Homo-oligomer: A and B are copies of this chain.
C-alpha cells in the first residue's frame, strides 16, 4: 500500500521528507523547526535548504509526495468506479456496491488508530484546514466527483448537479468527521481511541445511512 523505502539505501532527501511528513502532521508546519527535522533525520541543518531550497519548499515537496502516494492508493477504487460509470446499461445496484466499497475503504484508511493511518491523515487534515498551498492537488478529493456520479446512477438522476455533489459531500463528511474532529469525537463518544470494534461500528452505521439515503430517500 505505502511504499516502504529501503532503510539502508535511503537518501538524505527522502529521509527528510519522511520525517517532515511525520512532524508536520503531528505538530503543524510552524511548530516544527528545520533543526528538529534535521536532527531526527540525522542530517545537517543545511540539508533542507540544500535539497529543497527553503522550509516552504520542503513543505510543498511533502505535500506532493503525499498527493502522489494517495493517488496510487485510490487508483484501484477509481478504476472500478469508472468501469461502472462507463457501462451504459448498468444498474444502480452495482454503483451502490462500488460506492459502499469506496466509503468503507476510506474509513479503514482514515479512522483506525494506527501509525501509518495517522501519519497520512494528520498531514492531509492540517493541509486542508489552513496550511494549504493554493490550488495544490492535495486540496481536491478525487473521490468526491466520482461519488457524485455514482449517486446520479443510483438515483437514476444521471446529471452532475450541485445537489448530487452536496449529497456526496455529506456522505464523505460522515467519515471525515471522525478524523478531522478526532479528539472532540472521542470525548463525545466517550471512547479512548478508535480500535477495531469502534471502527467496525462506525462503518456499519455509515453503511446503513448510505443505503437508506440512496435507496429509500
Which A positions have Cβ atoms within 8 angstroms of B?
Answer: 27-28, 30-31, 125-126, 128-130, 132, 139-141, 144-145, 162-163, 165-170, 172-178, 180-181, 183-185, 187-191, 198, 201-202, 205-206, 208-209, 212-213, 216-217
Give the residue of B139, B168, B209, B213 whose beta carbon is less than 8 angstroms from that of A184.
B139
- In the bound complex, residues from chain B placing their C-beta under 8 Å from that of A163 are 201, 205
Shortest distance between the CB of A36 and any CB in chain B (Å)? 14
* Secondary structure call for the A interface: helix
Shortest distance between the CB of A91 and any CB in chain B (Å)? 21
Copies of this chain assembled into the complex:
2
Q: List 14 A-B contacts (CB under 8 A).
A: A28-B30, A128-B183, A140-B188, A166-B205, A167-B209, A169-B178, A169-B185, A169-B189, A170-B177, A170-B202, A173-B173, A176-B180, A180-B181, A208-B217
Shortest distance between the CB of A181 and any CB in chain B (Å)? 5
Give the residue of B125, B170, B188, B209 whose beta carbon is less than 8 angstroms from that of A217.
B209
Shortest distance between the CB of A205 and any CB in chain B (Å)? 5
Inter-subunit contact A132/B28 (CB<8 Å):
no
Q: For A209, give the chain B residue with the smallest CB separation.
A: B213
Shortest distance between the CB of A139 and any CB in chain B (Å)? 5
Most buried by B among A129, A144, A176, A217: A129
* CA A176 to CA B174, docked complex, whole Å: 9
* CA A59 to CA B29, docked complex, whole Å: 19
Shortest distance between the CB of A208 and any CB in chain B (Å)? 6
Shortest distance between the CB of A101 and any CB in chain B (Å)? 18
* CA A172 to CA B132, docked complex, whole Å: 24
Inter-subunit contact B206/A217 (CB<8 Å):
no
Shortest distance between the CB of A35 and any CB in chain B (Å)? 16
- In the bound complex, residues from chain B placing their C-beta under 8 Å from that of A212 are 212-213, 216-217
